Amino acid sequence: MTPEQELYQQYIRGEGKSPCTITAYMKDLSQFYNFVERYFEDGNIQLEQISPQMIRDWFLHLHKHQVSNRSLARKAAALQSFFSWLKLTNRISKNPMDKIKRPKFEKGLPHYFTEEEMLTLLNLPDQSSIFGVRNRAILELLYSSGLRISELADLELNDIDLKRALVRVKGKGNKERIVPIGKPAIEAIEAYLPVRDKLKQEYSSHKLFLTKSGKDFDHRQLFKILHHYFQIIARQKGYSPHTIRHSFATHLLSRGADLRALQEMLGHSNLETTAIYTHLTLDDIKKAYLKGHPRGKE
C-alpha cells in the first residue's frame, strides 16, 4: 500500500465508512495500481500522470474479463472518492474521474423471506444451548429492527432500552437513529442477558453480543453463525444477514407501514433507496388481485 493509500484509508475510516466498504475500496485501488504498473511504461507513473484514458482502459480490461456492471460501478465510486481526496489535499491538480462516465447497472429486487420462513428461521436456534439462546436473540433483533449486521455487532448494552422498547443504532456515516423493538425481540434479549453474564470475561467490552470466548463479534463471525441457519431454509443461493433486513422492510410495507417511517428505521439517507421495497409489495398486491378479482385473469 502506498503512503497516499494509507492516508486515504484513515480518511474514509474517519468519515464513518463501513469496514466492508473500506476493504472493498482499498482492494479496488490496489487492483487499479497493479493494472497501471503492468500496462503503462515502466510502472513508475506519478499520481498527477494518471489520465482518464488509463481509467477507461482499466474499465475496458475489467469488462473483457466479465466483471459485472455492479462491480464496475463500485470500483468507479472507489476511484472517484480516492481522486477527490487527492485533489482536496492538493496532491493532484485535476481529478481524472471528472471525465469518466460512471457505469450503470440495474438494481435487482432483493431476496427476502416470507413471513412463514422467518417464523421457521427464528425458531431454529436450540434454546437448550446458551449459544442457541444468544443466536435466537440475534435473529429476533435483526428481524425486529431491520439492523445491518455491522450495526448489530456494534450495539452496546446501553443502546438497548427494553422498558421503552427502543434500540439506539449508529449507522453509516456515524448517523444515529432510534428504532422500535418488538415484544418477541425484547423477550429473546431478556433471555439472553443471563447468558451474556456467563460468556463475559474480565477483558470483555460492553458490546451486547459476545462470542463464546467473551470477545466482540465482527460481521464475518456473525455471518458464519447466521449462514448455518439460512442453509436450512433457503430456497436458493444468495441469502445473507441482509436478507433479514429486506424481509423486515418488505413485511412492514406489505402490512401498510409508511414509506418515510420505514426510511427512518432503515437509516436510508435517500427515499429512493427505500422505495425499492414498494416493487416487492406491489408485486404481491398484483398477485393477490389476479388471484382474487373476478375479472383479474381476463
Task: Identify the active-site residue in 61, 87, 168, 172.
Answer: 172
Domain's final residue, options 226, 242, 258: 242
In the structure grid, which three cell numbers stand for residue 146, read together? Answer: 431491520
Looking at the structure of the chain, the number of domains it has is 2
Bridge partners (DSSP) of residue 216 are 210
Q: Within this chain, do residues 124 and 85 fall inside the same structural domain, yes or no? A: no
pLDDT of residue 32: 92
CA distance 169 to 177: 5
Residue ranges of the chain with pLDDT lower than 50? Answer: none
Give yes or no: 196 in active site: no
State the virtual CA torsion across 85, 88, 92, 96 in degrees, nearest 10: 60
| Same domain assignment for residues 89 and 121 | no
Whether residue 245 lies in the annotated active site: yes
Flag whether 33 is in a domain: yes
List 277, 286, 287, 297, catalytic entry = 277
164: domain range? 115-242
Last residue of a domain, one of 242, 265, 286: 242
79 and 128 inside one domain: no
Residue located via cell numbers 463479534: 217
d(CA 165, CA 182): 7
Same structural domain, 95 and 119: no
148 is catalytic: yes
- Among candidate residues 136, 245, 246, 251, the one labeled active-site is 245
Annotation marks residue 206 as catalytic: no
The verdict on 91 and 153 lying in the same domain is no
Whether residues 148 and 84 share a domain: the answer is: no
CATH number at residue 85: 1.10.150.130
* Domain assignment present for 156: yes
Residues 25 and 65 in one domain: yes
- Say whether both 187 and 93 belong to one domain: no
pLDDT for residue 108: 59
Catalytic residue check, 61: no
Q: Is 203 among the domain residues?
A: yes
178 φ/ψ angles, rounded to the nearest 5 degrees:
-115, 130
> Quick one: 238 and 123 in the same domain?
yes
Within a domain: 53: yes
Domain boundary among 53, 72, 99: 99
Q: Provide the angle, in degrees to the nearest 10, between the axes of the packed helices 241-254 and 271-292.
A: 60
Q: Answer whether residue 249 is part of any domain.
A: no
Residue 110 lies in a domain: no
92 and 122 fall within a common domain: no
Give me the catalytic one of 75, 207, 219, 268: 268
Confirm whether 269 is domain-assigned: no
148, 196, 207, 246: the catalytic one is 148
**What global pTM score does this model have?**
0.64
**94 and 119 in a common domain:** no
Flag whether 195 is in a domain.
yes
> Is residue 192 among the annotated active site residues?
no
**128 and 54 in a common domain:** no
CATH for 122: 1.10.443.10
